[in-house]
């Protein structure tokens, strides 16, 4: 099997400071390290290393505000200023690249006073009370004010808001009265995601972070991914919180309130309760949610398994149409469709490729359809009384469940999408200490899932889950014969873009599950299934432009796209802060859960097979599954908000 990487980031060459002569340390040549002395401690670093990074290596903390590990350097807040020997003014340590030996002091009187004044000036334009703020006790400005002993507003404080709050988006709420002009949201949206919703408009004291001509978020090209929220240091940006509505449903005795939980929130929610990243609390969360008042707790991984069956079957149908029927209108490569931020991105920027999207709904929405049809019928519950709540890592899921076409059941399929942060807030409000909860299972009939559903949470997980199923359906051979422990390593990892080829040397008999669609697999014998994986819309853009140019990815059969870095585990609703190390820890937790499942392939999930036997009786990609689980049908049933 062949694995290739594409579209890797290329580091920028270090730039000498303005007016600074570049010299070599004694005995140094090209590529040699340079001596840096910080607070009397010495080390050698490569040319171009910032003072901030050098200080981290020495274990010396320098406070920051505009800096973020995921983003390019801005150097606009000046909170990280230090004294550099020989420099007349203080220097921003995040933006000062070392090109010659330097001696640095990080906490002199001059530095401390400068940082304090910067914080005081930021607070003078910051409206609101900390105790009534959604980021209380998790706000970087608040933490800096405490660290630098701010006990009064030296330069005054806003008594009235200057800006109108923006509630237009289902996903992202904006309050520019809390903005500190760090430009993290701008760099996130323009550089990190390459969407470009935000920009710093005007100049001097009139500077403001705006959308295009200051339109509401709902009226611009926002994809609802929430990555700006995850990097905002204050509460200027946050998810559109509907927890009060969920509490109202729980307190209403006429409502049957069910919760589905996705794998990424379960891998991250412990961070909201003081745990280090990488501690999944899947079964403790079941107990906690029942204590909070939910009637039933279901596993979104069940619907992820269902998605794999439907999506894998759709892929095989498209391949048959293209290879056997020679249908030139068949849209290949097929794109995954379970990331609503990615779907919104392609709708805005690459509409010509919409036919390439799988028609499958996301697991969240498939689950919504089944709960208000199959589950309601099976338990003799009026679907109008069911309140379906989805715990997701993603702010875009709030937008997705409010799309007008997501009412296949005749009702609004999913009523509310909660982020990981919002769920943690609800549990705290109920006096529940999640890590101390005992473990309990999910409820039937949607409590049985596989490892394939779990790995949906990490980039490459949808592709790996699909390949586990498609390889076995077509070859009749256990996927473990091709990949140790069914771990398809070539599609894993945090490289921005991955490419792999899976050769099909032999084929088996057509399984009963898809006999209604295929007679044999001989048409696939000797072929190689070419797949791609990317995460983050900046990399999605690279892949789509490569396809447009007739490049390598235009020859793919199937490509997984995720809007968020790292996949769902890096979603816009996950705990704050986020960083590459935190996302890696969450991924490790997800893959450890996958390994713990006795069944790790979607097509072997007995509960899925039962649904097809009892309810979706015309099989995967049949009429009923298309009506409920795909987006080809837009029912005109009653839509209840």
Q: Rounded to an integer, what distance in angstroms lies between the CA atom of residue 459 and that of residue 562?
A: 7
568 is catalytic: yes
Beta strands 81-84 and 102-105, pairing class: antiparallel
Q: Give the residue carrying structure tokens 């290329």.
A: 10
* Residue whose C-alpha is closest to residue 367's, from 409, 424, 309: 409
59: left (phi over 0), alpha (psi -120 to 50) or beta: left
358 is catalytic: yes
Q: Which is the catalytic residue, given 83, 400, 560, 593?
A: 400
Q: Which is the catalytic residue, given 296, 361, 397, 542?
A: 397
DSSP letter for each residue of 324-361: TS--TT---SEE----HHHHHHHHHH-GGGGGGB-SBP
Q: Rounded to an integer, what distance in angstroms lies between the CA atom of residue 123 and that of residue 493?
A: 41
Q: Which is the catalytic residue, given 358, 538, 602, 625?
A: 358
Question: Within a 10 A sphere around the Cβ of 125, how many other Cβ atoms?
Answer: 17
Axis crossing angle, helix 300-323 with helix 606-614, rounded to the nearest 10 = 70
314 is catalytic: yes
Q: Which is the catalytic residue, given 568, 601, 621, 625?
A: 568
Q: Which is the catalytic residue, given 42, 165, 405, 429?
A: 405
CB 395 within 8 A of CB 171: yes
Backbone angles phi and psi of 425, in degrees to 5: -65, -40
Q: Rounded to an integer, what distance in angstroms lies between the CA atom of residue 236 and that of residue 199?
A: 14
Please enumerate in sequence order all residues whose Cβ is within 8 A of that of 227, keeping only pairs 6 or more positions apart, or say none. Answer: 188, 189, 192, 193, 564, 565, 572
Q: What angle do CA 155, 159, 165 make, to 5 degrees?
A: 115
Which tokens belong to 283?
Answer: 């079964």
194 is catalytic: no
405 is catalytic: yes
Q: Which is the catalytic residue, given 140, 271, 310, 311?
A: 311
Which tokens belong to 441?
Answer: 């299972």
CB 320 within 8 A of CB 170: no
Q: Which is the catalytic residue, given 225, 338, 401, 621?
A: 338
204 is catalytic: no
Please enumerate in sequence order all residues whose Cβ is within 8 A of that of 558, keeping only pairs 6 or more positions apart, or say none. Answer: 315, 333, 334, 336, 463, 466, 529, 530, 531, 532
Q: Give the total residue count for the chain.
A: 641
Q: Give the catalytic positions in this structure.
A: 311, 314, 338, 358, 397, 400, 405, 568
């Amino acid at each position: 099997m062949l694995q290739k990487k594409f579209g890797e980031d290329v580091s920028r060459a270090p730039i000498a400071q303005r007016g600074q002569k570049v010299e070599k340390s004694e005995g140094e040549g090209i590529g040699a390290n340079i001596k840096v002395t910080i607070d009397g401690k010495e080390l050698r670093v490569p040319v171009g290393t910032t003072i901030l990074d050098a200080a981290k290596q020495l274990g010396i903390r320098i406070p920051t505000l505009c800096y973020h590990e995921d983003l390019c350097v801005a150097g606009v807040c000046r909170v990280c200023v230090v004294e550099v020997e020989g420099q007349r003014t203080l220097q921003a340590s995040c933006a000062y690249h070392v090109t010659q030996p330097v001696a640095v002091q990080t906490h002199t009187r001059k530095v401390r006073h400068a940082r304090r004044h910067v914080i005081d000036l930021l607070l003078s334009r910051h409206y609101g009370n900390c105790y009534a703020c959604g980021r209380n006790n998790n706000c970087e400005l608040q933490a800096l004010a405490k660290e630098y002993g701010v006990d009064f507003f030296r330069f005054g404080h806003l008594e009235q808001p200057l800006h109108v709050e923006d509630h237009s988006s289902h996903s992202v709420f904006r309050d520019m009265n809390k903005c500190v002009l760090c430009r993290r949201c701008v760099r996130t949206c323009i550089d990190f995601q390459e969407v470009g919703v935000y920009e710093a408009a005007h100049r001097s004291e009139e500077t403001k972070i705006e959308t295009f001509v200051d339109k509401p978020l709902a009226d611009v090209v926002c994809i609802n991914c929430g990555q700006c929220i995850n990097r905002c240091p204050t509460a200027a940006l946050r998810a559109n919180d509907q927890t009060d509505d969920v509490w109202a449903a729980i307190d209403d005795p006429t409502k049957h309130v069910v919760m589905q939980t996705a794998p990424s929130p379960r891998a991250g929610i412990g961070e909201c309760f003081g745990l280090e990243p990488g501690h999944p609390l899947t079964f403790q969360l079941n107990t906690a949610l029942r204590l909070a008042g939910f009637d039933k707790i279901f596993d979104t991984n069940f619907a992820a398994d269902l998605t794999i069956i439907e999506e894998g079957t759709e892929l095989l149908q498209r391949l048959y149409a293209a290879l056997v029927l020679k249908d030139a209108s068949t849209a290949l490569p097929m794109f995954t469709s379970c990331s609503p931020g990615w779907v919104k991105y392609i709708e805005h920027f690459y509409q010509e490729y919409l036919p390439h999207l799988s028609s499958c709904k996301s697991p969240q929405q498939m689950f919504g359809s089944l709960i208000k049809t199959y589950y309601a019928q099976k338990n003799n519950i009026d679907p109008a009384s069911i309140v379906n709540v989805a715990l997701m890592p993603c702010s875009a899921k709030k937008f997705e469940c409010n799309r007008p076409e997501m009412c296949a059941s005749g009702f609004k399929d999913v009523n509310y999408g909660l982020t990981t942060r919002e769920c943690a807030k609800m549990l705290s409000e109920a006096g529940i200490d999640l890590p101390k909860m005992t473990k309990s299972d999910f409820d039937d009939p949607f409590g049985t899932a596989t490892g394939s559903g779990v790995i949906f949470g990490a980039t490459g997980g949808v592709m790996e889950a699909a390949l586990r199923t498609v390889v076995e359906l077509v070859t009749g051979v256990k996927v473990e014969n091709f990949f140790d422990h069914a771990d398809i390593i070539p599609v894993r990892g945090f490289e921005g873009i991955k490419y792999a080829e899976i050769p099909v040397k032999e084929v088996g008999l057509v399984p009963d599950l898809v006999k209604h669609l295929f007679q044999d697999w001989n048409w696939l014998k000797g072929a190689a299934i070419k797949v791609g994986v990317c995460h983050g819309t900046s990399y999605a853009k690279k892949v789509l432009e490569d396809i447009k140019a007739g490049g390598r990815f235009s020859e793919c059969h199937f490509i997984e796209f995720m809007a968020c870095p790292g996949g769902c585990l890096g979603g816009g609703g996950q705990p704050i802060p986020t960083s590459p190390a935190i996302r890696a820890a969450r991924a490790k937790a997800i893959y450890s859960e996958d390994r713990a499942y006795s069944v790790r392939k979607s097509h072997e999930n007995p509960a899925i097979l039962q649904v097809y036997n009892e309810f979706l009786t015309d099989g995967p990609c049949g009429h009923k599954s298309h009506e409920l689980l795909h987006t080809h049908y837009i029912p005109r049933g009653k839509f209840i908000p």
